Every structure is written in structure tokens, then in C-alpha cells.
Structure 1
Amino acid sequence: MSSRKERVELIRKIQDSRDSKVLVYFTGDRRPFSSQIAEDAVLPLYKHLLALKVAESNTERIDLFLYTRGGDVGVPWRIVTMIREFCSEFSVLIPYKAHSAGTMVALGADRIVMGKKAELSPIDPTLVRAVIGEATVPPPEISVEDVSSYISFMRERANITDQSALAQVVSQLASHLTPLTLGSVNRQYSHIRLVARKLLTSRKEKIEEGRIGSIIQALTEKMYSHGHAIGRMEATELGLPVDKPDENLETLIWNLYQEYERLLQLTEPIDPEELLTRENKEEYAIDSIPIAIVETIPKLDMFELNTLFRRKRQVPPNPQININMNLGLPPGIDPTKLPQNFQQIVQQLMGQIAQAIPQIVQQEIVRQSPIVGIEGRTFGGMWKEKTGETI
């Protein structure tokens, strides 16, 4: 199990190695509780930056130690500009995954320190898809670039160039997506490129306009799978300011990642079915599951949530419930002639039986109702300060 003392020591060694101050933002991806870059982390990050400024005499260089599978593409700009208010040089340390919105954060860094396992990814965003004539929970998602690619495919690959034919293609698309969704696609298409450009131009070392355009195009259009992993060699070829750590720093960065991996139990997914079977329960609650961390030497904050798993059963329309208690006194015994204390005992027994009947009925309904799935819900999620704790 990871401990704050061990993590702080690793953070301190990284700081000494790079003559910087380290701010950790780690969004876990333990199944089924994956967390993402989100607006609610901005305030905890700001408080850590304030704590660094008070606790440390020099914050000229800040390194953001980042692990994430992605998130809200509107948040990276807020994070980058906020961090730049506290330093003159901003770098990102990537031990493993910095996908999607995490890659956008890296675009705004002066240097991107990528270990051997480090991964960036394309930055094409997805939207919740409002569809016509159907509703699903959770709602389906659609890639913004998929819509653009569909039209490009019909025009370039299928050789449909006639305007009336293209209008029919768009009409078919509109029959499956609401006008509001199509409008959102257009806004996100422009927004992601605008934000990526602003992030790239926020760096201290300015880059050529042509390179900016090629980087944005590569990350939004030229990599045709959102799951494509961009290693440090490919990131360098794209024109990003990648640094390879020396062996000592590489080891420190990877060891710190492993501390968070253990703390958030990333390699130990929760299987609701196995859990309910093992506990022999119809529902099971787990409290205070940590899914994201913001940490510096002065402070520790964790995002925790609660969850409840419950078996879903298909209750038959007419369950057959037969309760035969076979209760009664032997023949020839008049209950009015029984001693008073015996009558009280009988009444107590009858009361216990009456209380047991609902449970028996419930058990019988459960027995007759086949399991059709497992549902889960999370609640009570919030950031909590854990600085004084030993976790």
C-alpha cells in the first residue's frame, strides 16, 4: 500500500533533480470507476499552487505530474493558464497515459518530459449524441471528427460531388442526429482547434505558424483512431518539445506512478457480480472510493465517491407464494383454559411469525425472479483534503 511519506520523498527527489516544484494531478482509471480531467479539479489545483508559493521560496519552474485518460476539453486551457500565473517555466511530466484532454494540457507546456511508457493521444472530442426516435441510458457518444470524416468519405472516396447528392447525404445524417447535436459538432470542431492553437502559442518558445497548423491537424484529423497511442518518438516527429529523462529521473517518475497505481488500486478492478455473489447479498455498498488525486509536498486532496450495486431481477407477473405454517393446538385443548403465562408465550410466538412472513415472502419472490443484470450508482462524490492522513 502506498503511503504519503513515500510519495512525498519521491516528489522531493524529482524536484531536486529538475530544480522545480512538482504538482501531481492523477485521475484514476480503475474499472468501473474511471475519473477524468474535470472542472471540479481546478480549485484544488489552485489551492495547491498557493500552498507551494507559501511553502517554497522558489516556484519559477513548475512540473505537472499528469496521468489521465482524458476528460473535459474545456478544462486544459484553465489549468495551463492558471499554472503559468505561478511560474515562468511550465513542464509536464508524463509517466504513462496523458490522453485526449491530458494531451491538450501537454500542448501548453514549455517542455514535455516523457518516460519510455509515456503516451499522448489524438485530441478529437466526443459529444453526447442526441438521437431521433430513441433514448438510451447512458446516452451514446459521437466523435466530432467522425461526422466530418463521414462527409469527407462520401465526397472524396465515394466521388459524390454533385451538390444535390451531397445535400441528400447531409439530410440522411440529420435524420439520425438532432439539429442541436449537429450544431454542437460544428462548435466543437472549431473550439478544439482554437484551444489547441492558444495552448501551443502560450509556450515561452514560440513556434512557427506552419508547425502549429500541422500539429493541430495531426492530432485532430490525421490519426484515425482516438485510441492511438503517441509515444515520445512520434511526439517529437510531430514537432512537440519532448524531453527524455535520464535513467535516474525515469526511475523516480515511474516509481511515483506506481505509488499512485497502488493507492488507487488501478490493477484491481471491482467486479459487481463477483462481489454480490461473494457477499451473498442482493445489494452492496462501498464508501469512500478514491478515484483522483491532487498532491504536492505541502498538501494532499483526493476525490472520493460512494457506490451501490444491486441485482436487477425480473419479477414474474403472478408470483406463486404459498405459506403454510401448519400452526394449531392439539385436538381437545381449550386455549382459554391454558395458564396465563402459556398464553403469553403463544402470543409472542405468533408475533414473531407475523414478523417473519414478509421476509419469507420476499425470499420467495427473489427465488422466483431471475437475475437480468446488475445496476450500480455512484453518489456523494467530492474532493476531500487528506493532508494530515497517512494514506
Structure 2
Amino acid sequence: MAIKAKEPPVLFNETQALIRDIESHINRKLICYWTSHRGAICDNDVIAMYEILKNLGRQERVGLFIKSDGGDVEAALRVVNLLREYNDNVVAYIPLESASAATMIALGADELRMGPLAHLTAIDSSLRHDMSPVDPTDNRKVKVSQDELARLVALWNKSSREHHDNPYTDIFKYIHPLVIGALDRSSSLSIKICKEILSYHISDESECERISSHLNSLYPSHSYPITLKEAKSLGLKVSRLDAGINSKLLMINQYYSEMAQKALTDFDEYNYHDNEILNILESDGLQVFYKNDKDWNYIKDERRWQSLNDNSGWRKVMLDSKNKIFSSMLHIR
């Protein structure tokens, strides 16, 4: 008997009800931008965000619920540009983590509202490259941080009396040279992009430079949590998120987390299917998400995994003319 692949739930009705409820309290349309811990902000999210904004139409005021561990900083700039093209005033609602590239997107808002569990992070470079090392425990490429790499080299140099080799001779055994090159390039890029994002609502160029440089280089780690108090001291326009709105946003997060559960189906010890949802964007009347849909096979002789039958892609969920849930593919290449 064939094993049926697990399918994650699509909780469209539940999240739509909460979105409409929140909108009635904040007196503006709400956009949700959520990624799982295995997802990330990426270029394709820009097209997905365009679908959301096109569905809403131009708004004088909009709210953005963002929850993400980060991703591509150039994609973050494009997302902010879209938000500012379609909306005159943007308020970011942050109940949980809004890290790295997600911090940049939040900085594109005129105001930030942060809950007790919320935090931003530093924006120094951290990326998951095509040539990044692979974590053997879950077959996923790992992020490499510019800060971690710099500290590794510093430690090497500090103990250089014990050896005379170039530190990169050993580092290249674990981190591909192209990854290190990409990190070096993206470090200066992070500051430039952050300055440009802040300039959408801060006219003082020196202030944009100060905030960007602070976020890029003055924290001890890439994941250092910048809470409400620290965000205020940094000079950001931020206030405490209303407790009721915070609770409702956390409920949306619970629904999204349920949708993004690990939908993995084991066929045997060398083969499994992945149906996991990674990124979700939503507004009133439309939900867009990216879902893995592929097989994985372990090649014993080569001690590595390969993907097969990859039908992963973006899905759109909305109500049809009869008020029934209708799902379709959103083709992005």
C-alpha cells in the first residue's frame, strides 16, 4: 500500500477572521509577512508582496505585521520600496522576532510598535549561500555570519605565535571561498541599504548614517536582541504594542506555525517527501505562501542527499464568487 504524503493545513478562514478583527481596532489595513525558521526573506517574496498590495490597492495608511529571522537584504529593500509605493504611512507591528533583513524592513516603517516578546537585531552580514556548509542533521544549508568569521580570524591572529599559516587555509576547508567573498561584499551593502530604507521617512542623512552604522557594527553578535528599550535609545520612533493587538498577532503566529509544521513523510530510511510551508504573506481577501513539494533521496556511496520531483512553488488562496476557498498556483521564475 502506497504511503500518502503528509499535507500541512491551510488555515485561511482562521487567519482572515483575525486580520479583519485587528483592522477594526487599528483603523488601517493589515499586511502579514511571516517566515518560518526554515524559510527566509528572498527575491520571490517581492512578487508575492506585489500580489498582496495589488489586491489591497493604494492605501493612505497600512499596518505591517512582520515576523522573520531575516534573509536577503536586497530583497528587503525591494519590499520596503513596494510598501512605500502603495502606502503613504506604514506602521510595523512586531510581536516576535524581526531579525536581520526583517529588521531592515521594519526600519522602513514610519513607526514601530513592539510587544514584550519582540526584538530587532543587528544588520551585519549573515547569509545562506548556494555554497554554504550543509548541516548533516537536517540536510539544510547553514547561515554564515560576517561577525563570526571576523572573530574567528581575530582569534587566529591573536594566537599567531603558535603558528605561521594563513588562517584561510584551514577556514576554506569548511567555508567555500565564494561564501567569504559574498560576505565581504554584503557587509558594506547592508549599511548602504539600511541608509536608503531609513531615508523614506528620515530626511536627515547624517541620522540615517548613524543608525545604520550603529546597527551594523556596534553589537557583539548578529543575533543580539534589540528590545523596545534599546530601540528607543537608538533613536527609532517606537512605542509599546497594545496588549490586545499583541495577543491577536500572536494568535495569527500560532496559525501560521501550524501551517508551517514539518510536513515530512518518510518512505524508508533513504527516501522522504517534504511538503513544508516556509513563507506566508496575507491581507484581507488573499493569502500567498511558498510550499516545498519534493522528494529527497540519500545517495549512500556519496554520503549526500539529492532532491527529486521538485514541484515546490507559490500558492494563492482566496474566496471565489460563491464565497468558497479557492487555491491556485502563483508562478514565479
Q: Do the two structures share a fold, i.e. TM-score over 0.5?
A: yes
Q: Deviations over 1:159-186 (max 9, x none)?
A: 99xxxx9xxx9x9256556886665444
1:36 to 36, 40, 45: 40
Partner Cα distance (1:191, 1:235) in 2: 22
In the TM superposition, 1:268-347 aligns within 5 A as 269=262, 276=266, 280=268, 282-286=270-274, 288-313=275-300
Corresponding residue number in structure 1 for 2:105 = 105
Partner Cα distance (1:151, 1:309) in 2: 36
Partner Cα distance (1:59, 1:130) in 2: 38
Corresponding residue number in structure 1 for 2:194 = 196
8 Å contact kept, 1:309–1:374: no
Specify which structure has the higher proportion of strand. 2
Larger C-alpha radius of gyration, 1 or 2? 1
Partner Cα distance (1:18, 1:384) in 2: 28
2:311 to 380, 383, 386: 380
* Cα gap change, 1:202 to 1:153, in 2 (>3 Å): farther
Corresponding residue number in structure 1 for 2:5 = none
Q: Which segments of 5 or more consecutive residues in structure 2 lack a partner in the other structure?
A: 1-8, 135-139, 320-324, 328-333
* Cα gap change, 1:113 to 1:231, in 2 (>3 Å): same
| 1:49 shift after superposition | 0.8
* Cα gap change, 1:256 to 1:373, in 2 (>3 Å): same
* Cα gap change, 1:140 to 1:22, in 2 (>3 Å): closer
2:234 to 231, 235, 238: 238
1:263 to 235, 259, 272: 259
Corresponding residue number in structure 1 for 2:64 = 64
SS in 2 for 1:258: helix
TM-score of the superposed pair, with normalisation by structure 1: 0.66
* Cα gap change, 1:300 to 1:141, in 2 (>3 Å): closer
Q: Which amino acid aligns with 2:146?
A: V
Partner Cα distance (2:271, 2:153) in 1: 47
Partner Cα distance (2:45, 2:72) in 1: 11
Q: Which amino acid aligns with 1:251?
A: S
Partner Cα distance (2:307, 2:130) in 1: 22
Partner Cα distance (1:140, 1:250) in 2: 31
Q: Deviations over 1:252-276 (max 9, x none)?
A: 22222222122222xxx46x7xx64
Q: Which segments of 5 or more consecutive residues in structure 1 lack a partner in the other structure?
A: 315-371
Q: Deviations over 1:74-115 (max 9, x none)?
A: 111111111111111012122212111101111111111211
SS in 2 for 1:96: coil
Corresponding residue number in structure 1 for 2:145 = 143
Identity %, equivalent residues? 24
- Tell whether 2:224 aligns with 1:228: yes
Q: Deviations over 1:123-177 (max 9, x none)?
A: 111356899xxx965777643344555677799xx599xxxx9xxx9x9256556
8 Å contact kept, 1:4–1:390: no
Q: Deviations over 1:171-221 (max 9, x none)?
A: 925655688666544432221111111111211x54572x43443233222
SS in 2 for 1:120: coil
Q: Deviations over 1:307-339 (max 9, x none)?
A: 32435546xxxxxxxxxxxxxxxxxxxxxxxxx
SS in 2 for 1:98: coil
* Cα gap change, 1:153 to 1:198, in 2 (>3 Å): farther
8 Å contact kept, 2:72–2:127: no
**Number of residue pairs matched by the alignment:** 303
Corresponding residue number in structure 1 for 2:4 = none
| 1:285 shift after superposition | 2.4
* Cα gap change, 1:215 to 1:152, in 2 (>3 Å): farther
Corresponding residue number in structure 2 for 1:74 = 74
8 Å contact kept, 1:27–1:35: yes
SS in 2 for 1:74: helix
TM-score of the superposed pair, with normalisation by structure 2: 0.77
Q: Deviations over 1:337-387 (max 9, x none)?
A: xxxxxxxxxxxxxxxxxxxxxxxxxxxxxxxxxxx9773637322112121
8 Å contact kept, 1:95–1:257: no
1:250 to 246, 249, 256: 246
